[in-house]
Structures are given as structure tokens and as C-alpha cells.
Copies of this chain bind each other. A is one copy, B any other.
């Protein structure tokens, strides 16, 4: 890619034109786009006092609400409910509680009424008792056929085109791009490479317990019930430290679940950029922040100006939202 850009630059120079293609065509020409371009130029120009070597160009992205949508509820939860319905078809005896019955019926409100314990029960039943490989095949298969209840789109097309462009732009500029998701690491890995160009080793997420075992002579990683790590809030900087061992120079999120990683990363020495995607676009996507049941954003909005974090106003700053038109 670098070589391709070099060739392109050479061709442009020969033609007498200094123009390069716009790396962020789906962003309007408002402040956030200019700030992103300025930041990337400042850390990649060897003559800049802000220059950062490629090895330290670490950029991390929250997933739900930052790279793809999260309404009416996290897509992983919709998957979990459908999976329970599927499992119950062959074995109805698994529906041992009202929560699980509601999930199997696709009754979102009833399924969620039991709070965190209900959520954990649904995740445990839908995400354990199989190998990591089987689970990821199952998720990929679901993504092939499932449609979003409001837009009717396949979930893979409910990513944000401007963010896909930002990921590509950063990688072209020798950044390493990571996902740091409150969602499940194996769930996100099932589509991150295909959809975002982010390989499994660059996905950090919440994790259920796993176990190595040889089953019928086949060495296998099994997904068990129970949580091993919650990659949310203060867990996000911890997950980044464990997984990457470097402090990112660019962090993008959309909720107060990302506050700690924004705070930690942007407190580092040298040039740093914190980005918050603000859902302001009820016409093309959704509008929500302080009082939302998912992606609640209050402290981030309050403190972003003083901390110098970029707040991206989806309605104003994005020319288009969805990919593939």
C-alpha cells in the first residue's frame, strides 16, 4: 500500500499535480475531518516535532456504536436470543427460566427485565458448551442471514462508512488498528477481519472462560460458562495494557464505557487524539446520549472540550453513514 501510494505520488508529480485522493470522502469538510487529517499528518511527518515512529502508531476503536450501530440493543444480544431459540428447537428443556423463555421467543423487553443476572444467563447459555471454532462459524452464519429489525440490513452493512475510511487511512499511514470492545472477543473476531480489515490478533474484548481439552482425540479450545474478563470502563485500559502493552495515540469511542481508555491514552506524552462519535442523527441512524440504555454518553460530552477530545456530530460531520451505496 505504501508502495502504491509512492507510485501514485510519483505519477501525480509527473503530471504536475500535487493532489492525492481524499482518504476520508464520506466525512464533511467540517472541523473533525480537518482535525483527523492534521493529527495524522503531524505524527507521520518525520520533520514534525510530533512525529511518532510506526511501531508506536497504535489506534484503538470501540466497536458497538463506534464502528457499527448498537440500536435497539447490542447486536451480539440479538444473536444470543436467536441462538437460544435455535437451541431450544432441538432441546426445549434448556429453557429453565422466564428469562430464557423470553429470549427464545425474541421478547427483548422481557428478556432484559431481569437486569444483569438475566443478561449473564442469556450469554452463558448462548455462548458456551461449544468450541471457539464452532462458535465463530455459528456467528458468521448468523451474520449471513440475519437482518436488522429496524433497517432490514444485514448487520455487516450496519458499519459506519466514515469509520471504515478512517481505519483504512490510518493503516495506510502505518498505524496498527485495534478493536477494544465491551462485546465478546470471539464474537467480534467472527467478522472483524472481513468487515473492518482488523485481524483476530488485533481484537480485544470481553471474554467468557475458555479451556483447552482433547475431545475425541481432537485438541480443542472450549467456551465455558462464566466471565473471564470484562473489557468495559476501567477494564478497557487494562485490556489494552495486557494485550498491546503500549499506550495508544488515537482512541475512538462513543460512550462513557470508553471514558477510561480515552483518559489514559490522551494523558500520554506527545501528540494524542481522543475521538467520540456522538449519535445525533435520528434521520439516518439514531440520536441518543445521556439517557440511552445502550451507549450512554454524559461525562464524555461534558469533559470533551476541556480535555481536547474531538466530538464527531454524526448528523453534521458525516456525508454518508452506511457503506455500499
Contact B242 A185 (CB under 8 A): yes
Contact B264 A238 (CB under 8 A): no
CB closest chain-B residue, reference A186: B245
Contact A234 B260 (CB under 8 A): no
Please, which residues of chain B bring their CB within 8 A of the CB of A201? Answer: 176, 243-246
Tell me the complex Cα distance, A207–B207, Å.
16
CB distance from A108 to the nearest CB of B (A): 30
Please, which residues of chain B bring their CB within 8 A of the CB of A185? Answer: 242, 245
CB distance from A177 to the nearest CB of B (A): 12
Contact A242 B200 (CB under 8 A): no
> Would A212 and B264 be within 8 Å (CB), given that A132-B241, A200-B244, A246-B201 are in contact?
yes
CB distance from A266 to the nearest CB of B (A): 9
* A200 in complex: contacting residue of B213, B245, B264, CB < 8 Å: B245
Contact A212 B260 (CB under 8 A): yes
Contact B218 A267 (CB under 8 A): yes
Please, which residues of chain B bring their CB within 8 A of the CB of A207? Answer: 242
> Does A49 belong to the interface (CB within 8 Å)?
no
Among A210-232, those with CB < 8 Å from B are 210-214, 218-219, 221
> Does A32 belong to the interface (CB within 8 Å)?
no
Contact A211 B238 (CB under 8 A): yes
Please, which residues of chain B bring their CB within 8 A of the CB of A200? Answer: 244-246
Tell me the complex Cα distance, A267–B219, Å.
7
Contact B241 A221 (CB under 8 A): yes
Tell me the complex Cα distance, A132–B241, Å.
9
Tell me the complex Cα distance, A237–B234, Å.
27
Tell me the complex Cα distance, A51–B305, Å.
52
Please, which residues of chain B bring their CB within 8 A of the CB of A245? Answer: 185-186, 189, 199-201, 203
Contact A242 B211 (CB under 8 A): no
Please, which residues of chain B bring their CB within 8 A of the CB of A15? Answer: none
> Does A306 belong to the interface (CB within 8 Å)?
no
> Does A55 belong to the interface (CB within 8 Å)?
yes
Contact A243 B243 (CB under 8 A): yes
Tell me the complex Cα distance, A211–B214, Å.
34
Tell me the complex Cα distance, A167–B221, Å.
27
* A210 in complex: contacting residue of B176, B211, B242, CB < 8 Å: B242
Can you name 9 A-B residue pairings with CB atoms under 8 Å?
A186-B245, A189-B245, A199-B245, A201-B243, A211-B238, A212-B237, A213-B234, A221-B238, A221-B264
8 interchain residue pairs of minimum CB distance: A200-B245, A219-B264, A212-B234, A212-B237, A219-B267, A201-B244, A221-B241, A189-B245
Q: A210-B241, A210-B242, A212-B237 known; 17 other A-B pairs, CB under 8 Å?
A: A55-B199, A132-B241, A185-B245, A199-B245, A200-B244, A200-B246, A201-B243, A201-B246, A203-B245, A212-B236, A212-B238, A212-B264, A218-B267, A219-B237, A219-B263, A221-B237, A221-B264
